[in-house]
Amino acid sequence: MGTSEAASNAEICHHFYLQYVVLIMQSVSEIPGNQSLAKFADLSVHLLVDRHPS
């Protein structure tokens, strides 16, 4: 029971973290001159999605 509870908590954390990163990406991409940071955020999202197949 403890392991499944931990797994669901990890899923919830991962879901909210993805939303957080996307929010950062959107706000960063609206600021001119921050393309490199936006690319880094985009890359981190791809890495997260690849590591956590849904």
pLDDT in tens, 3-43: 787 778 888 888 888 888 888 877 776 666 666 776 777 77
46 confidence band (pLDDT: 50, 70, 90): confident
Domain that holds residue 18: 2-51
The pLDDT score that the predictor gives to residue 34 is: 62
Number of domains in the chain: 1
Dihedral over alpha carbons 33, 14, 48, 42 (to 10 degrees):
-20
Residue written as token pair 């959107």? 26
The better pLDDT of the pair 49, 21 is held by: 21
pTM listed for this prediction: 0.41
